[in-house]
Amino acid sequence: MYQKDWHPADIVAALRKKELTLKELSIQNGLAARACDTAMHRPYAKPETVIAKALGVHPKEIWPSRYHANGTRRRFLHSKIVAKQAVKETRGAKSA
């Protein structure tokens, strides 16, 4: 059965019930102030773990689309540079 990712508002509400904010979590864990906010919309392993730990669940429960069934992370192209390189390589392979 397919599970949907939690809505960002649901994550924020769960954190507020624990009297926490995304910014506080980021700073307390040595991350950039907006790191946890970024993880709400993009795959970002460390802040996902921080948020999940604060809520007492595994990150896979919050973002099932970002994890395999066995709990390991799916791989994503995080960097625009890496993504552009992948596109160039794909285009080069098609023309060859």
Compute CA 41 distance to the chain's CA centroid, rounded to the nearest angstrom.
Answer: 7
Burial class (CB in 10 A: 0-12, 13-18, 19+), 19: exposed
Q: Which CATH architecture has domain 8-95?
A: Orthogonal Bundle (1.10)
pLDDT at 92: 60
Q: pTM, whole model, 2 decimals?
A: 0.76
Tokens of 30: 């040595």
| pLDDT tens-digit series, residues 43-93 | 999 999 999 999 999 999 999 989 988 988 888 755 555 555 556 666 665
